[in-house]
Amino acid sequence: MKKESKNSQPKWNRVHPITNVAISSLFIFLALLTLLPLVFVIIISFSSDASVAEKGYSFFPNAWSTAAYEYMWKSKDYIIRSFFNSVGITVVGTCIALVLIATMGYALSRPKFYMKNIYTWMIFIPMLFGGGLLASYMVNTQIYQLRNTYWALILPGACSGWYIIIMRTFFQTTVPDSIIESGKIDGARQIRIFAQLVLPISLPVIATIGLFMSFSYWNAWYGAMLYITSDHRHLYPLQYVLINIQNNIDFMAKVEAETGMTFESVQLPTETFRMALVVTIVLPIACSYPFFQRFFVGGLTIGSVKG
């Protein structure tokens, strides 16, 4: 009896241990390079403004300082409230967006849906020609009465025509028709087929779109500038609050430079505060990425191989 080889893979498919170590080391190095900008921003945020003025942005500042975070801490109540606003807006907005995008994409993917062509053009045309800022502002404030409400920060961006097209294409190319037909044979309606048969096998694309939508809601600040007035500051999301603080610092630094007048006898952390803003905004949403990573990779490669 012939003794089995320790390595059952074909010779052409084997990787030498030294080659394996070299390739692994290369990709570890590349992965660390992707973290380098974030580490650089964190180092600058903890640098002193005097060091930044003298050496510029550097991995090795002359002096360390927490002035940027101390200045931010002075408005901790305001920032904490805006942080939870952003969390709520991101969670609710992403959930609503996924419901709208998934249901619309599924309806357009069904060949027997008799209004499929009309709705497809209704989604496609606004991707090329928009009504403009004035039209959307008038619709959202005068017709839907969304001004000074949380819904003004959620509903205008809750439905993306581009993501609907992606979802429709996914359902058409990936979900087998036999699954739909089996549900019909068992007497299930379309809503039950969609919820119990289609959604469980659509997690990769749903998680991928959900990740991008959560990024969009978390980083949004322009809607607050348009629809939320200054007497409703409790509705501001985190990004808009931090931008306002940064603008105030820039204004006070400009006044100090032009007139010599100081505010509270404190040196304003202008340069380092910008980096502290980046850290404050990026880290929370970056921490959520590992939870989506498994589905995100599957969503990127979906449709590349069809069996």
What's residue 202's pLDDT?
Answer: 86
**Measured CA angle at 56 (ends 50, 59), to 5 deg:** 100
Query: What's the whole-model pTM score?
Result: 0.78
Identify the helix (H) or strand (E) that includes residue 203. helix 203-219
**pLDDT tens string 131-155:** 788 888 999 999 999 999 999 999 9
- 68-301 CATH pick, 3.40.50.720, 3.40.50.970, 1.20.210.10, 1.10.3720.10: 1.10.3720.10
Query: Length of the chain in residues, anyone?
Result: 307
Residue 9 is predicted with a pLDDT of 57
Tens-digit pLDDT profile for residues 236-294: 998 888 888 777 777 766 766 667 655 554 555 667 877 888 888 887 777 777 766 66
Q: What is the pLDDT of residue 10?
A: 61
Per-residue pLDDT tens for 22-38?
Answer: 888 998 998 888 888 88
Q: Assess contact for 183 and 197: CB atoms under 8 A.
A: yes
pLDDT of res. 96: 95
Average pLDDT estimate for 65-82 = 83
Across all residues in the chain, what is the average pLDDT? 81
| Mean pLDDT value of segment 169-186 | 85
| Three-state SS at 2 | coil
Q: Does 110 score more than 70 pLDDT?
A: yes
Beta strands in 103-150 (DSSP E): none
d(CA 216, CA 212): 6
The percentage of the chain sitting over the pLDDT mark of 90, rounded to a whole number, equals 19
Tell me the average pLDDT across 80-92: 92
User: What was the pLDDT predicted at 160?
Assistant: 87
pLDDT band for position 79 (cuts 50, 70, 90): confident
| Lookup result for tokens 């006044």 | 255
- Who has greater pLDDT, 299 or 116? 116
Distance CA 160, CA 164 (A): 6
